[in-house]
């Protein structure tokens, strides 16, 4: 009976597993861990497919959808493999139980025959003893009574003996009852075995249908993703082409938007101090323009209203130094006077140069300059550069 209960328990376990497979789907964890399988709701899967479709409509090439479908297929195959292994194990256990049952049945048959023979032998011994007793009894009436009384006694005893023999033949033995019970259990097991085989066949058929449907769905999604990827690639190519065209247009517009301004320098410094001072002032001025290209023009090719920056070094008396620097140059509003100082500027030069010719100049600024370092960056220099930018922008 223990083997029968085990078979029933295994059958119930398989039925529960079949019900679980019918009512659930299986998916893999996002890290690819196929051992930790969880049931997934069909609505959640439809929602994930919907979100995936919305993401794909953005025309961004991606293989995430294909990877996800492949992962679901691999997880489903693993689950089917596990179920197949369980079915093989059950079939193996069933064969073992059948072998045990056959062995048990053979033993029972042998025991039954032995018991029947033993029981029949005992009954026959009892009957023989009874017959001997009856014969002895039958003899006594012949000696002690008349023949009629002896015949009656003999008939009565014979009838009782026949009845006893018939009862012995009709009496069910314990072995027969055990055999009947085992046969009933065998019939039940055979019925359950048939149901189990039918269930396994149905499950295998459902698995084949699910595999076929999953394969068709996978192929359909792959085709859709390939079409979307191709469309996205075409869109991306068009966008790249449009982006290139826009860059060209922007460069063209930027080229148009850049304003060119021209200035000239007149320096009375010796070399290399002259180039050092002029280039330093020019770099600082260009740093103030973002959309203006500041170019220099030779003084001999300078046109009217082209700003001229006269650069000189304050050696002794500033008025005499300025007059020497302006020698041969007409003082006008398009001329700027840039005075370099090696020491601290205590008073702005424009407040010292008050003669009428100096007032005709466009602007007078002071900048700190040292031969070893060049233009000195400080608040006074920054102010002078901003004033020169405002002066240049007037032309």
Q: Cα separation of 264 and 164, whole Å?
A: 152
Shared-domain flag, residues 227 and 274: no
Going by the DSSP 8-state scheme, the letter that residue 299 receives in this structure is G
Structural domain harbouring 201? 2-233
Domain check: are 281 and 167 in the same one? no
- Look up the pTM and report it: 0.37
Same domain (yes/no): 104, 183: yes
CB 336 within 8 A of CB 361: yes
- Residue environment code for 149-177, b if the CB has 16+ CB neighbours within 10 A, otherwise e: ebeebbeebeeeeeeeeeeeeeeeeebee
Instruction: Examine residue 94 and state whether it is found in any structural domain, yes or no.
Output: yes
Cα angle for residues 252, 253, 254 (degrees, 5° grid)? 90
Contact 362, 336 (CB under 8 A): yes
Q: Does residue 321 fall inside a structural domain?
A: yes
Q: Does some domain include residue 375? A: yes
Q: Per the domain annotation, does 254 fall within a domain?
A: no
Instruction: Please list the pLDDT of the chain residue by residue as tens digits (395 residues).
Output: 555 566 567 656 666 766 665 555 444 444 444 444 344 444 444 455 555 545 544 444 445 567 767 777 778 778 778 877 887 887 787 788 778 778 877 877 787 777 766 665 666 666 666 656 655 554 444 444 455 666 676 677 667 767 766 665 555 555 677 778 888 888 888 888 888 888 898 898 888 888 888 888 888 889 988 888 888 888 888 898 889 888 888 877 766 656 788 899 998 888 898 999 999 999 999 888 877 888 888 888 888 889 999 999 888 788 888 988 888 888 888 999 999 998 888 889 888 888 888 888 999 999 999 888 889 889 999 999 999 999 998 88
């Amino acid at each position: 009976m223990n083997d029968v209960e085990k078979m029933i328990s295994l059958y119930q376990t398989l039925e529960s597993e079949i019900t679980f497979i019918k009512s659930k789907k299986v998916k893999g964890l996002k890290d690819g861990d196929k051992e930790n399988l969880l049931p997934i709701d069909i609505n959640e899967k439809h929602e994930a497919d919907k979100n995936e479709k919305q993401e794909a409509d953005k025309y961004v090439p991606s293989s995430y959808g294909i990877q996800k479908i492949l992962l679901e297929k691999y997880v489903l195959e693993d689950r089917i493999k596990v179920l197949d292994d369980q079915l093989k194990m059950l079939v193996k256990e069933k064969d073992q139980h059948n072998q045990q049952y056959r062995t048990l049945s053979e033993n029972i048959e042998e025991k039954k025959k032995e018991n029947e023979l033993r029981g029949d032998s005992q009954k026959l011994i009892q009957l023989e003893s009874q017959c001997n007793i009856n014969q002895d009894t039958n003899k006594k009436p012949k000696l002690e009574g008349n023949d009629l009384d002896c015949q009656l006694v003999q008939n009565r005893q014979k009838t009782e003996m026949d009845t006893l023999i018939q009862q012995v033949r009709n009496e069910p033995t314990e072995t027969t009852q055990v055999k009947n019970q085992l046969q009933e259990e065998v019939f039940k097991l055979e019925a359950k075995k048939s149901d189990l085989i039918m269930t396994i066949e149905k499950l295998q058929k459902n698995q084949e249908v699910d595999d076929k449907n999953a394969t068709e769905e996978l192929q359909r999604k792959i085709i859709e993703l390939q079409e979307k990827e191709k469309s996205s690639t075409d869109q991306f190519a068009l966008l790249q082409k449009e982006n290139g065209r826009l860059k060209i247009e922007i460069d063209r517009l930027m080229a148009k938007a850049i304003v060119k301004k021209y200035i000239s320098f007149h320096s009375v410094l010796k070399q290399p101090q002259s180039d050092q001072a002029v280039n330093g002032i020019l770099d600082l001025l260009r740093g103030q323009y973002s959309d203006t290209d500041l170019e220099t023009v030779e003084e001999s090719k300078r046109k009217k209203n082209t700003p001229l920056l006269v650069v000189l070094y304050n050696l002794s008396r500033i008025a005499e130094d300025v007059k020497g620097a302006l020698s041969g140059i007409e003082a006008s509003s398009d001329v700027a006077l840039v005075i370099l100082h090696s020491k601290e500027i205590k008073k702005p030069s424009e407040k010292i140069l008050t003669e009428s010719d100096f007032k005709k100049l466009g602007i007078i600024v002071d900048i700190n300059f040292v031969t070893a370092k060049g233009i000195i960056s400080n608040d006074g220099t920054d102010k002078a550069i901003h004033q020169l930018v405002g002066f240049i922008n007037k032309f």
